[in-house]
Structure 1
Amino acid sequence: MNRQRSPNLSRKNQSRRVSVFDTTLRDGEQAPGNAMRPDQKVELALAIESLGVDVIETGFPSSSKSDFEATKLIAGAVTTARIATLNRAVREDVRLAVEAGGRENHHLQIMATGSETHLKYKRGISQAEAQAEVIDAISYAKSLGAHHVTLGIEDASRGSDALLRPLIEASVEAGADCVALADTTGCLLPEEYGAQIGRVRSWIGSGITLGVHCHEDLGLSLANALAGVRAGADEVQATVAGVGERAGNTALEELLAVLTYKGEELGVFTTATTKGLYEVYELLCRTIGLEPVRNKAVFGVNAFATQAGIHQAGMLRDPITYEYVQPADFGRERSILVGRHSGRTVLRHLLEELRMEMDDAFVEAMYETYIANRTNGECTSLDDLRVILAAERPTEVVA
């Protein structure tokens, strides 16, 4: 039988490692309702680090005392992951970032204006002025001893090559060792974003890290991130549950699921793991009051649940019939729920499990009483149905 792969199996054909950059604590926190205290950020950072991610973005140190403190605390707490900060192309931002996050284990990101639209309507400055401020900030960061400086290009997906190429090449020459292109408005199709990433890779060569930062405005953040990886990007920025500005960012759990199950096809692998991922999500939910949704991949309430009888008939024989992503790989459990779409097969299955004598009349009576007439969408769990069956025929139930 051709069963799906489990996480982190053979990497025989996986030629390239993809770095995972988590921005839950920065871009994720920027969304309304997602504010976190420094101590909460530290707790989440350590939980995220336990997944084996490569980089954890702590915040925007110059924006508030809270982000400055969180950066300092996280920098002192992490032991395997590196940290990152986001900063404007302003010397004081750079100074504060170095003070908070240190020089060695710190990816100091300089935010650059990446489109003519932003130059005209947001900044009101020329291309030359925008490039000059970025080069000055990178040079200043290097003069302070910063080991890793990233050129983070905001709205790069709407920028022309005539704007981006000189900016990128001058930044690399000034000392940037990573370039991250943001599809800030989530406006590109995967083939468009992949083509842009491919062009940038050709400009900077193989010695510079190329990162992608994608947004979900058109529901394409993961698809765009993967298109970027195919085109030569070697780092993906993501957030737990996809939290972030507006519709959010590339969801970390979806990214890890794809790299886990489809990494060989993509020709890449990650050393980050899915183990413990759901516990990190639960911690995030408690921290920011995030309500679970039904139909979200990996983390959705119904991601590993079924109530349709035609599916359950197969699932009861072998879960592989309808379960490509395995719940145990993500700390989840399979859930077979009984509702009006379930039919009689699941009842018979439970009766067999309980070693109860059954006939067609009893199965039909139970189905009509407890399942068929449910019109409000409510379902009964297998455990609840076991209790009901036991109450109907208590002397027959074998413990």
Structure 2
Amino acid sequence: MYKIAVIGRGLIGSAAGRHLSMISDGVAVIGPGEPKDTVKHDGVFASHYDEGRMVRFVDPNIPWSITAKRSIERFSQLEIDSGVNFFTTSGYLGLQGPEFLDYLEGSEFSAKTVNANFKRINVDEIRKDYPFLSIDDNTVGLVESGLAGHISPRNMVKAQTKIASQFGADIIEHEVKKISLNNKAVEITLQNNEKLLAEKVLVATGAFTDACDLLPKSLNLVVYGRTVVLAEIDEHIGKILCNMTTMYVADSNAYILPPIKYPDGKTYLKIGIGSKSDKILNSRSELIEWFQGKGSDKDFREFREYISNLIPSLQECDNWHTKSCAVTQTSTGLPYIDYVVEDRIAVATGGNGKAAKSADDWGLFAAQMIVNDNMDHPVSHEELQLPKSEGNVPRDL
């Protein structure tokens, strides 16, 4: 019997597995690997099957800034310990018009709180430092240097998993079908009907948390299907964008990654735009169908036009692609890291579209909670607890 089983090997789950393996024996980290054929795959998916996620200290929400700083400052050592490279320091540029000054001011306040290396720049400075952009005269920018940049989430999960294994954790590459309680343990049933036992279980299954009915009640998470657009960058355009940073545009809620080399050997610039009009995915079958597809054709057309206007050199791109992604929103805007059943079954989920930069620290928080370690963390547990909701419908375990 395991002491602790982590179900889910995404960004938060793999981080929790690593931290647990370093402070406890008897750890299992359970979850399938990346499918070779997404179209034919009929099991669970994860959004970390990608090469680009922006990471930075600045965020209008202080807990995200705090955990981002703590996570990002560990990246270099994580690369050394695992032998897996996943982190690139490229800098960050936030853009906004006068209608969204609250975003800039909130980000500046958080940046000061965590001593980020940042500065505000005006439109003339933006045009001088980022000549590839086409922006309005009233645009304001926020620049973060230092450790701001991007990660390969795919390789970060690989690094976390490798170290967890080195510290003695069992990595079990299967999907979990069911969790049930008995008097002495939590019983975990895999999709192949094999059964495992653990004293405690941490569920970190991202967008599939409610859809797979593993927990005794719904967490009322809202899962949005998001379309990501990739523009293939040739050598000519690559030279124009050689100094490009990661970017966020507050007015449109667009996040943009600089040209990054992908496993197919090609280089892509990536854009996504979050919107409340994104499709809501409620069931396991809806999630699987979404991930098997290529996202929204309407979003593709709109995103391509948007990014081509913002970065005019992209109008020369001949090859464009789309991918499906999912964003898991909580009611608090922070992850839920809390016990669901006494002190036996806990949850760590809800990336709210920005888990990558803070995932390692959210995983540490969950690990410390599970082993009843001294919770010496600047974010209080109260901020991450599940809301008391009368609408949750209990399920039998």
TM-score, normalised on structure 2?
0.28
Higher normalized helix content (fraction of residues): 1
TM score, norm. by length of structure 1: 0.27
Higher RCO by CA contacts (8 Å cutoff, separation 6 or greater)? 2
